[in-house]
Structure 1
Amino acid sequence: MGHDTLSDVLRTVRLRSALFYDLSCAGKWLAEAPDSGDIAGAVMSDVDQVIPYHVVTAGECWVTLQGEQPLRLQRGDVVILPQGDPHVVSSAPGLRPEPNVNWYEEMKLHKRPFRLGRDGGAAGAPAFEACRPASGADYETDTSLVCGFVGCDKRPFNPLLATLPRLLHLPAAAGSAWGAQFAQLAATVSGSRRPGSEVLLERMSEMMFVDAVSRHIDSMPEQSTGWLAGLRDRFVGRALALMHENPTAAWSIDELSNQVGLSRSALHERFVELIAQPPMQYLTSWRMQLASRMLLDSQSSVLSIALRTGYESEAAFGRAFKRLVGMPPAAWRRKQGQLAAP
């Protein structure tokens, strides 16, 4: 079996998940989600990119992104928003939120997981009331969702994120293995709250995300460009696999072209067309991502990390790191440590 470049990237950018909550809805309802960057501190403060998702466990609803047509979701469907775009989930398409109503603020007031509900109210009442914790058994529900977040590193280098669309949809009817299983599990867990269920949801949500990405690769048109398109290209995919399998090797465009069976100029052109940067520039960026993990996850010296990422000197490594990250590795390590401190 060849090197699994996608798994390599997902491990290195620290894919993980947290914060699950239930949304119980009745009547005419709407939940507006802001840009995930605006709420990252409230949901996953230790990650660069926060990716929201919604699982419909009962009923149906609509999700709408600005500039896109509303998408109908049915029971068992999963929708993921890789770019963290602001969006609206509602009982019908075309609904607009009232100003100054942000149900995400509830996350600061309630221990996770918690339940939210919104009801259109009695005749003559406002169309949308301020969001409040649902009362439980006496709350009549038309639609239920389990929502959460997947997080990952965006910096110094995450080649996957930029190539994902604004929305990934896993329809239950399409037979998505992890999507369907996760939807069923989420419905069960949201009702039982058994010990350990939250950790189980975390692991399953990560698997569901990987399944969504894999299915997206399979469905991409032949003329697609981007890192994921590069993965499935015979020559670029092989070059990527070689660099990821042994990133510390003294790779050159000549050596890569010999290994993949394509001329130097043709490989360079094909790589740039799909990945949008030359092979050697990509290798440097990936080495810096590996180095950033070592800087944060170990007490190794900068020199040791430089040698372990293919550099012969600390000075050469420091220059490459600063070009991509904007500061020397030691200063970046201190800054990240301060940001992670409680």
Structure 2
Amino acid sequence: MGVDVLSDVLKAIRLAGAIFFDVDAFAPWVTEAPPSRVLVPLIMPGVDHIIEYHVIAEGYCFASIAGEKPIRVEAGTIIVFPQGHGHVLSNPVGQRSAFDPEVFILARQDTVQLPLNVVEEGRGDHTHIVCGFLGCDTHPFNPLLSALPPMMMMHESIDTPDSRIGQFVRLAMGEARNKRAGGENVLARLCELMFVEVVRRHLDGLADDQTGWLAGLRDRHVGDTLALMHSRPAHGWTLEELSRRIGLSRSALTERFTHYVGMPPMQYLALWRMQLAARFLFDDSANIATVAEKVGYESEASFSRAFKKLVGTPPATWRRARRAELAEA
């Protein structure tokens, strides 16, 4: 169909990466991260949501969502918490700690070049961890985030020459250990690339009976429907035209699309248009009528009504509020 739907979504949700910590931990040690809503104002003010990940570069540790059973993870493992749950990393197993915001406050100071090197003092086994953070939009609509599990793990030998994950990890470790001009930008881009690769591996590993937005991409009929809508979001799509182009009846397409994505095609299109509109409102100074046209509305009034219904506030009010949040960051 000519459009990469996953890339289109990643662009629209304003995925932005930053790597903050390069950790050398010597047992016994424990670090506990709070939920995303607590980290946002400390790390990336102005974003909706933070995805945290940890690359176990050397050694091992135990990881879990706070309150759940820990899992031992070895060197070469990337652990991702897409939903922003509070979580714990430790050695030995079962340790808990109070959250200390001071290290995050220090990392945001202008005099600090990232990543911030952190040493957890102890006399036991050594673990080297590179910790990264990704900011993204959740509102008005982020179909990818809702399709990911609370905790994702991927293991691959860092030393394998043809390992894409290994290449990212080696580059990240090199930039973390040898700070050079532009290093923070390089690490931010690597952070994003690693996340995309993890999502792609997760997509490839989905079971045949799995549902959700990512599983829908893999289904021929649903994937083609998504590609059509993403390729021309301002087009006046109707269920009849989509079903004709896909080669299914309207009822069959609606049933199949809803089975995978969780909503009918036209509802998805309406939400996706609002996400694009939010990006246009945030990124440039285009007037509301221009934004309305870009996302397929014939008048500013009809667009404003739809935006307020789905987002909760009129587009002009939403833009002012988001820009005020960014200015205060």
The TM-score bracket by the shorter chain reads over 0.9
- What amino acid does structure 1 have at the position aligned with 2:213? W
Of 307, 316, 326 in structure 2, the residue corresponding to residue 330 of structure 1 is 316
- Could you say which residue in structure 2 is the equivalent of 1:115? 117
1:171 and 2:155 aligned: yes
Matches within 5 A, 1:86-97: 86-97=86-97
More divergent stretch after superposition (190-199 vs 324-333): 190-199
Matches within 5 A, 1:1-342: 2-66=2-66, 68-97=68-97, 101-110=98-107, 111=112, 112-120=114-122, 142-173=126-157, 177-342=163-328
Which 4+ stretches in 1 moved above 6 angstroms? none
Q: Which whole-Å CA distance do the structure 1 matches of 2:225 and 2:134 have between them?
A: 29
Q: Which whole-Å CA distance do the structure 1 matches of 2:185 and 2:72 have between them?
A: 29
* Matched position secondary structure for 1:80: strand
TM-score (norm 2): 0.93
Q: Which whole-Å CA distance do the structure 2 matches of 1:338 and 1:187 have between them?
A: 36
- Does the 8 Å contact 1:59/1:143 carry over to 2? yes
Q: Which whole-Å CA distance do the structure 1 matches of 2:125 and 2:181 have between them?
A: 25
Task: Provide closer, same or farther for how the CA distance between residues 226 and 67 of structure 1 changes in structure 2, counting only shifts above 3 A.
Answer: farther
More divergent stretch after superposition (176-185 vs 257-266): 176-185
- What amino acid does structure 1 have at the position aligned with 2:221? F
- Does the 8 Å contact 1:78/1:183 carry over to 2? no
- Could you say which residue in structure 2 is the equivalent of 1:132? none
- Does the 8 Å contact 2:254/2:265 carry over to 1? yes
- What amino acid does structure 2 have at the position aligned with 1:253? L
TM-score (norm 1): 0.89
Q: Which whole-Å CA distance do the structure 1 matches of 2:234 and 2:117 have between them?
A: 48
Task: Provide closer, same or farther for how the CA distance between residues 217 and 283 of structure 1 changes in structure 2, counting only shifts above 3 A.
Answer: same
Q: Which whole-Å CA distance do the structure 2 matches of 1:56 and 1:103 have between them?
A: 22
- Does the 8 Å contact 1:18/1:44 carry over to 2? no
Displacement of 1:50 in angstroms is 0.3
* Matched position secondary structure for 2:129: strand
- Does the 8 Å contact 1:150/1:206 carry over to 2? yes
Q: Sequence identity, in percent?
A: 45
- What amino acid does structure 1 have at the position aligned with 2:171? L
Q: Which whole-Å CA distance do the structure 1 matches of 2:19 and 2:202 have between them?
A: 25
- Does the 8 Å contact 1:57/1:186 carry over to 2? no
Displacement of 1:148 in angstroms is 1.3
* Matched position secondary structure for 1:72: strand
- Does the 8 Å contact 2:46/2:322 carry over to 1? no
- Does the 8 Å contact 2:273/2:295 carry over to 1? yes
Task: Provide closer, same or farther for how the CA distance between residues 162 and 169 of structure 1 changes in structure 2, counting only shifts above 3 A.
Answer: same
- What amino acid does structure 1 have at the position aligned with 2:99? N
Computed over aligned residues only, the root mean square deviation of the Cα atoms, in angstroms, reads 1.8
Q: Which whole-Å CA distance do the structure 2 matches of 1:186 and 1:113 have between them?
A: 10
Map Cα deviations across residues 31-78 of structure 1 (whole Å, 9 max, x no partner).
111112101111111211100011112211111114643222222221
Q: Which whole-Å CA distance do the structure 1 matches of 2:30 and 2:306 have between them?
A: 48
- Does the 8 Å contact 2:18/2:191 carry over to 1? no
Displacement of 1:150 in angstroms is 1.0
- What amino acid does structure 2 have at the position aligned with 1:151? G
- What amino acid does structure 2 have at the position aligned with 1:254? E
Q: Which whole-Å CA distance do the structure 2 matches of 1:141 and 1:298 have between them?
A: 51
